[in-house]
Amino acid sequence: MDKQSLLARCRHFLTDGIGAQHLTLIILIVLISTLMQFFFPLFLDPLNVETLLMNFFPEIIVSIGMTMVIITGGIDISVASVYAFAEIIVAKAMVEAGWDIVPATLFTLFLCCLIGLMNGYLADILSVHPMIVTMGTLLTLRGVNLAITDGRAVSGYSDAFAFLGQGHLWFFPIPILVAIVLAIIFGYLLNNHRYFRQIYFIGGNEKAARVSGVNVRWVKVSVYVICSFLAGLAGVLGASKYGAAHWGHGNMMEMKAIAAVAVGGANLNGGSGSIGATMLGVCFLAIVNNAFYIARVETFWYDVVNGGMLVLAVAFSLYVNHRNEIKLINQKIRASNRVEMEANQ
């Protein structure tokens, strides 16, 4: 790339609201880390960094799927139940039915995909807002989770399975490796694959996407399937990590995932967002969360910061939308003047 276009890109990055938001986020993350390290040398201690990441690994994986759903202009708040459901199913399959790890995991992920299929299909066919559909799934599945376990935990699986969630490869905990690999794969796909490019078009303007030749229904449904699949995968890893499956695990995870996507700068009305940005968002939330622990601030305040960032992020995307609306209205006014004017020529 030549120098001039590089310059243009930089200028674009800075004047474009989203780019500025990413930059702000990066600066914030670096700044918080530096300050924390300065005051609390424990902060960048390897054990603390591992804990920081491990405490957020389900959110990292789930937020990848959530990003895609939100780019299409939808939302999936059922992920917390799907996560717990996957934990319970994979545990039951191994502990109670005596299945091997691989078939139990595949079966669990298959069921999760079916749940995603149902979410996407219902939202599309009934044209009900996905918020409502997935809220139904959230509550229904939570009931199912309680019913099939009588509210008790399922535990007692093999060491091999426990290795999935608790083991390390080199120095890296496996769940973190899985999360990073998934983020890279989906990040690359979203940027570089025609199929995933379509989700931006759907979120940007669904009707225009249809007219442009996008199979809107299929793409949308598949995104919900991916989201549930990832929540299920996180659940399998979670069951292994905590050594037990329990209906209460992962509660409110959907909020953290949505917050991560929003803080990363995606427009909650769809059309924009990226895995990289979402990862920045998760990192930010995880670091702030950890900072609260390390600095021994009452953790109730964490929710205040978390919520504050969310409001800020949403306000920002509203502002961008509003700015676009105004541009459009101005164009419309100019256009209608022109039509009237041309009628007079």
Partner 1 sequence: MAEQPILEIKHVSKSFAGNAVLRDISLPINKGEVHALVGENGAGKSTLMKIIGGILPADGGEIFFNGQAVRFENPMQALDAGISIVHQELSLAQNLTVAQNIYFRREITDSLGFIRKDAMANAARQVFKRIGVDIDPNVLIGRLSIGMQQLVEIAKAVSLDAKVIIMDEPTSSLSESETSHLFNLIRELVRNNVTIIYISHKISEVMELSHRVSVLRDGLLACSSLTSEITTEEIIHHMVGRELGNLYPPKGKNIGDTIMSCQKLSRHGFFRNVTFDLRKGEILGFYGLVGSGRTEVAMAMVGATPITSGEIRLDGRVVRFKNPRQAIGNGICYLTEDRKVLGLFLSMSVRLNATASILGRISNRLGFLRSDNMRHKSSELGDYMGVTPKNDIIDIINLSGGNQQKVLLGKWILTNPRVLIVDEPTRGVDVGAKSLIHAKIRELADKGMSVIMITSEMPECLGMSDRVAVFREGDLITVLDNPGDPEMQKNIMSYAVK
Partner 2 sequence: MVRKFVLAALLAIMALIVPLQSGVQAGEPAEELYGMVVFLKGSEFFNWCYAGFKDAAATVGSHVKTEYLGPADWDASGEAKAVEQLIAMRARGIAVTAGDADTLVGAINRSIDSKIPCLTFDSDSPKSRRLLFVGTDSYQSGYEAGLIIAQLLGDKAKVGISLIPGLDSITHRVAGFEAALKEKAPGAKVIAKVNDEGDINKAEQVLTAMLQANPEINAIFCGHGNPATGAMKAVINVGRDSGDSKVHVMAYSIDVPILEAVDNDELVGTVAQYPYLMGVMSFLNLYSAAHPTQFDNPKYPGFGMVPTANIDTGVRVLMKGDPLLDYLKNPPKM
Q: Where on the chain is the footprint of partner 2 (CB under 8 A)? A: 14-15, 17, 20-21, 24, 27-28, 31-32, 35-36, 39, 42, 45, 47-48, 50-52, 54-55, 150-156, 166, 238, 241-244, 246, 248-252, 288, 290-291, 293-297, 299-301, 305, 308-309, 312
Residue 60 burial (CB < 10 Å; 0-12/13-18/19+)? buried
Binding test (CB under 8 A) with partner 1, winner from 7, 8, 160, 311: 8
Q: Which long-range contacts (CB under 8 A, 24 or more apart) does 320-323 make?
A: 320/17, 320/18, 320/267, 321/267, 321/269
Q: How far apart are the first and last CA of the chain?
A: 46
Asked if 200 is part of the footprint of partner 1 (rule: CB under 8 A), the reply reads yes
Tell me which amino acid residue 35 is: L
Separation of alpha carbons 237 and 166, rounded Å: 9
Binding test (CB under 8 A) with partner 1, winner from 117, 205, 305, 314: 205
> Count of residues for the chain?
345
Closest to partner 1 by CB, 55 or 191: 191
For residue 153, the minimal CB distance to partner 1 (Å) is 43
Separation of alpha carbons 266 and 275, rounded Å: 10
Binding test (CB under 8 A) with partner 1, winner from 88, 93, 183, 209: 209
Contact code string over 294-333 relative to partner 1, x by CB under 8 A: --------------------------x---x--xx--xx-
For residue 267, the minimal CB distance to partner 1 (Å) is 7
Span interacting with partner 1, options 42-50, 159-167, 208-216, 292-300, rule CB under 8 A: 208-216
Place of tokens 């700044």: 31
Give the up-direction half-sphere exposure of residue 57: CA atoms within 13 A in the CB hemisphere: 30
Token duo for residue 305: 């910061």
Asked if 21 is part of the footprint of partner 1 (rule: CB under 8 A), the reply reads no
Instruction: Kindly report the number of other CB atoms within 10 A of residue 236's CB atom.
Output: 28
Closest to partner 1 by CB, 24 or 205: 205
Separation of alpha carbons 10 and 321, rounded Å: 22
Chain residues that interact with partner 1, rule: CB under 8 A: 8-9, 12, 16, 191-195, 197-198, 200-201, 204-205, 207-215, 267, 271-272, 320, 324, 327-328, 331-332, 334-345
